[in-house]
Amino acid sequence: MKPKYARALRGRLEGRDKTRLEALANERLDAFVADAVQLCGPAVVRILTDSEADRRYIRRQAIENGEEAPLATPGHTVHFDGYQDQGRDKEVTRYLLPKGVNLGANLNTMSRERGLAEVRGFLEGAMRGRVMYVAPFCLGPTNSPFSLSCVQITDSAYVVHSEHLLYRPGYAQFERAGGGDFFRFLHSAGRLEDHVSAEPDKKRIYIDIDEDMVYSVNTQYGGNSMGLKKLALRLAIRKADREGWLAEHMFVMGVHGPRRRVTYFAGAFPSACGKTSTAMLPGETIVGDDIAYLRAIDGQARCANVEAGIFGIIQDVKAADDPVICKVLTSPGEVIFSNVLVKDGRPYWLGMGRELPTEGVNFSGPWHIGKIDKQGSEIPPVHKNARYTIDLRSLGNVDARFDDPQGVPVGGIIYGGRDSDTWVPVQESFDWPHGILTMGAALESETTFATLGQAGVRAFCLMSNLDFLAIPIGKYISNNLNFAGGLKTVPRVFAVNYFQRARDGKWLTGMRDKAVWIKWMERRVHDDVEAIRGPTGWLPLLGDLEALFRKVL
C-alpha cells in the first residue's frame, strides 16, 4: 500500500483488516477506501471477506445497531425505512456529467463539479463514531465472462446484510482479478433518529459516470442505498455500451416443455407488473428475477442473472398463488422483511390471505387503525412497497444452471407491463427489430408504488429500463437492435399483458393464466404450434390455448 493511503487509514484500519486490504494489492481500492475514510470520518474500518464468519458478524451488527429486529421465526428479521424513504427517488437520483457530455433530455443530470461538491458535502463526517464496512461483491457468476467486481462502502450493516443475500461474494474474485477495474459505491444513512435516516430533504443518489462510482446519502431504502441493485445497473449499461453486450432489467427463467426440454426466457417488466410471479411460476425454474446481462458467445445469445437473491415486493403473496416463495417466508431461514406490519413477532403484508391485526409496529412506528401522519393522511398498516429479501438458493425451484459461468442460452425475450385496455394477453413479434421497437422500445405501463409519485398513470417505460438508462435512448435502442447481428439463432420476442380490465373494472384474465401464456411461448420458440398473423404480432390459435388451459390449469 502506498504511504499516502496508509497514512490516511492509520488508527482506523489495523490488524486483520489492514492485512485483508493489503492482500488484494489493488491500488485503486486502496485509494477508494482512503478517500472514504478521510471524507466520512468513521471510528473504525472493517474489511469483509467471503467467509461465513463475516456474514454472521454483519447479521449481529444489523441487530445490535437497531437496523433490524429479530422476528419469531428463527433467522427472520424486520427492517423499517424512514416514513418518507419508501421507494426509489427519481428526483434526487442524478448523473454527474463532465463538461461537454450530454445524455439527452430524458435523463436526470447535473454538472459533475456541482454534484460532487453537494453530495460530498453531505457525506463529510457522516460516519463519525461509526463502523465503516468495506464489502467486495461480484455481479454475475464468479470467474465468468459475466463477472463484474464491485465494492460497497457503507455505515449500514442492514445494507451489507441485504447484499450478502442478494449478490455473490467478491473478495476471492478480487484476488483473482488482481488490479482490475471495479464499480464503487459509497453510502451513508446519515443522521439517524430511531435507527432511520432523519434528513430526507438531504437525500442524494448521484452517479459519477466518469469514475464508475455512486454516492448515496441520507437514505436507507434498498433501491437507493444498495449500490449493487439498480445503481450498478446504470453503470453496467454504460460498460455494456462500450464493450458490445447488454445490461437489462430482466428476469431469467427456465420453462419446461415437452420431452423434458428446458427453454430459457429473459423478461422485462416494470416493478409490480408480474415480473417475479412469472419467474416463479409453479413447475418452472428460476435463474433470476430482476437484472440480467446478455452476451453473444460463440454465435449464441446467452444471459446470466446478475444477482443471487430476491428483493421482492411483498403484496398479494399467498400460498395459493406463490407456494415456493411462501414456504421460504414462513419457514426458518435467513429472510429480511422491510416495511411490513409486525405484531407479536410475526410479519403481516397486504393480500397475504389473512386478516391484518388492528395494531402493531410498521414503517411509522407504533401503529393502530386510524393513525394519521403530520399531513392528516391515514397511515396504512403496511406500505405498498414492502419487501422481502432472500437468497435464491433457499427456493425449491432454483434452476440447475443458476450459477453456470457461461450463463444460459436465450430462447425468447418477453416484454410486459400494466395495460388496462390495449395489449392482448400474449403475442409474438414478426421478427427481432419489430419486437425490439414495438414491444420493447414502445412499452407503456401504468405506474405503481415501487417508484415515488402518483400510481396508476400510464407512462412510457422503454424496455422497463428507462429509469436506469445511463446512455442516450437512441443509442440504447440501437444497441439492442444490433445485438442480434452476430447471432446464429436469434431469440424470439414476445409481449404479454396480465392487466386487461372490462368496462366495469373487473379483470379479464386470472392470475394463474400467465402459466398458459408462457407455455405457448415455449412451444412457439420450437415451432411446435402455429399462429395467426394479427395487426401487431403473431397470435395464438384458440385450439392450442384450449389444450394448454386443460393441460396447465
What is the residue extent of each domain of the chain? 3-243, 246-309+398-552, 313-392
Give CA torsion, residues 416, 418, 424, 428, to 10 deg: -10
Do 3-243 and 246-309+398-552 agree at the fold level? no
**CATH code for the structural domain at 3-243:** 3.40.449.10
Calpha distance 419→321 (Å, rounded) = 21
Interaxial angle between packed helices 232-243 and 473-483, expressed in degrees from 0 to 180 and rounded to the nearest 10: 60
> In this structure, which topology does domain 246-309+398-552 adopt according to CATH?
Phosphoenolpyruvate Carboxykinase; domain 3 (3.90.228)
Q: Are 492 and 413 in contact (CB under 8 A)?
A: yes
Count other Cβ atoms within 10 Å, centred on residue 100.
5
User: Per-residue confidence of the chain (553 residues) as pLDDT tens digits?
Assistant: 899 999 999 999 999 999 999 999 999 999 999 999 999 999 999 999 999 999 999 999 999 999 999 999 999 999 999 888 888 888 899 999 999 888 888 789 999 999 999 999 999 999 999 999 999 999 999 999 999 999 999 999 999 999 999 999 999 999 888 767 899 999 999 999 989 999 999 999 999 998 999 999 999 999 899 999 999 999 999 999 999 999 999 999 999 999 999 999 999 998 778 888 899 898 999 999 999 999 999 999 999 999 999 998 898 888 887 888 999 999 999 999 999 999 999 999 999 999 999 999 999 999 999 999 988 999 999 998 999 999 999 999 999 999 999 999 999 999 999 888 889 999 999 999 999 999 999 998 886 555 555 656 788 889 999 889 999 999 999 999 999 998 999 999 999 999 998 989 898 988 889 999 999 999 999 999 999 999 999 999 999 999 999 999 9
Q: Note if 461 is an active site residue.
A: no
Q: What angle do CA 65, 66, 69 make, to 5 degrees?
A: 130
Catalytic hit among 273, 303, 326, 461: 273
Of the candidates 256, 262, 254, 304, the one whose C-alpha atom is nearest the C-alpha of residue 279 is 254
Model pTM score: 0.93
The sign of the dihedral angle between the CA atoms of 128, 133, 139, 145 is positive
Sequence-distant (≥ 6) Cβ neighbours of residue 478 within 8 angstroms: none
Instruction: Give 93's strand partners.
Output: 205
Given a contact cutoff of 8 angstroms between Cβ atoms, the answer to whether 156 and 185 are in contact is: no
Residue 335, H or E segment: strand 335-338
CA 502-506-507 angle, 5° bins: 85
Contact 200, 82 (CB under 8 A): yes
Give the whole-angstrom CA distance, residue 451 versus residue 273: 13
Q: Smallest Cα–Cα separation from 418: which of 501, 502, 497?
A: 497
Q: For residue 377, which amino acid is it?
A: S
Nearest to 195 by CA among 230, 178, 170, 220: 220
